[in-house]
């Protein structure tokens, strides 16, 4: 018997969390994208050192939630898996575009956009930054490797933004060699790249978050 894959588009609800008041006085928006197994609200709490007057923090939550252990207990979310990955990427790009369009409408003008992606959220940040409706001034990849994007196709956009790569010296998830490979690729296409190391592991550090606001 022949088995055929079929596809249907379906409406669903997706959530995001906001710190700061969305109004016409907002000049800067941070999209902060959580890592694998995290939730948007919790991650937003970790990113609060980024909040300043005239700034709004937006933490979308990945579309696929799951129990961490044996169908019960704590819950996390994932941006994608290797199964049907291209459609999952398309779905979350549509989701992020929708949030951005809503925020721009509420503000009334186009604010400056920065994106921070932690761990798995780094690949999401890079894909949306290159392919999405928003045009970020900078992308922060924190404890994250580089996703498979066609860099040459996005040379113009990448050349107009700053990329900041942050990694803990004790990070056991993403290797230093992987980060160096990312830097080399970006330098080849003329993008501005800066690296920052902190003394911790695979984690956000509040003092580093506070520093990057000033960059």
- Residue 114 is assigned to a structural domain of this protein: yes
Residues spanned by the domain of 186: 16-212
pLDDT at 188: 77
- Residue 177 is assigned to a structural domain of this protein: yes
Q: How confident is the model at residue 135 (pLDDT cuts 50, 70, 90)?
A: very high
CB distance 130 to 123 below 8 Å:
no
Q: What is the mean pLDDT of residues 132-147?
A: 90
What percent of the chain has pLDDT above 90?
68
pLDDT at 191: 67
pLDDT at 214: 66
Q: Over 80: is that where the pLDDT of 190 sits?
A: no
Q: What is the mean pLDDT of residues 64-73?
A: 84
* 183, 97, 62, 41 alpha-carbon torsion, rounded to 10°: 100
Q: What is the mean pLDDT of residues 95-114?
A: 97
How far apart are the C-alpha atoms of 34 and 92, rounded to whole Å? 13
- Residue 188 is assigned to a structural domain of this protein: yes
One DSSP character per residue, the chain reads ---------------EEEES--STT--EEEEEE--TTB-HHHHHHHTGGG--TTEEEEEE--SEEEEEETTEEEEEEES--STTHHHHHHHHHHHHHHHHHHHHHHHSS--EEEEEEETHHHHHHHHHHHHSSS--SEEEEES-------GGGGHHHHTTSEEEEEEETT-SSS-HHHHHHHHHHHHHTT-EEEEEEESSSSS--HHHHHHHTT-
pLDDT at 42: 97
- Residue 10 is assigned to a structural domain of this protein: no
CATH code at 177?
Answer: 3.40.50.1820
pLDDT at 159: 84
What percent of the chain has pLDDT above 70?
97
- Residue 5 is assigned to a structural domain of this protein: no
Total structural domains within the chain: 1
pLDDT at 153: 80
- Residue 1 is assigned to a structural domain of this protein: no
- Residue 8 is assigned to a structural domain of this protein: no
Give the tens place of pLDDT for each residue, 169-183: 999 888 777 777 777
Give the tens place of pLDDT for each residue, 40-59: 999 999 999 999 999 999 99
Q: Over 90: is that where the pLDDT of 193 sits?
A: no
- Residue 2 is assigned to a structural domain of this protein: no
């Amino acid at each position: 018997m022949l088995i055929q894959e079929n596809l249907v588009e379906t409406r669903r609800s997706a959530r995001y969390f906001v710190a700061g008041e969305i109004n016409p006085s907002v000049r800067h928006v941070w999209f902060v994208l959580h890592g694998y197994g995290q939730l948007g609200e919790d991650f937003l709490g970790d990113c609060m050192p980024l909040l300043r007057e005239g700034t709004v923090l937006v933490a979308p939550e990945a579309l696929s939630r799951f129990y961490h252990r044996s169908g019960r207990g704590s819950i996390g979310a994932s941006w994608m898996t290797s199964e049907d990955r291209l459609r999952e990427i398309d779905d979350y790009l549509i989701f992020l575009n929708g949030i951005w369009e809503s925020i721009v409408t509420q503000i009334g003008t186009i604010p400056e956009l920065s994106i921070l992606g932690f761990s798995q959220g780094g690949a999401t940040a890079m894909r949306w930054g290159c392919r999405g409706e928003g045009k970020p001034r900078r992308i922060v990849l924190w404890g994250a490797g580089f996703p498979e994007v066609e860099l040459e196709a996005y040379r113009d956009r990448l050349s107009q933004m700053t990329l900041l790569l942050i990694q803990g010296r004790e990070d056991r998830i993403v290797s230093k060699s992987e980060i160096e490979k990312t830097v080399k690729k970006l330098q080849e296409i003329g993008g501005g790249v800066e690296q920052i190391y902190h003394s911790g592991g695979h984690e956000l550090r509040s003092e580093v978050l506070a520093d990057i606001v000033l960059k």
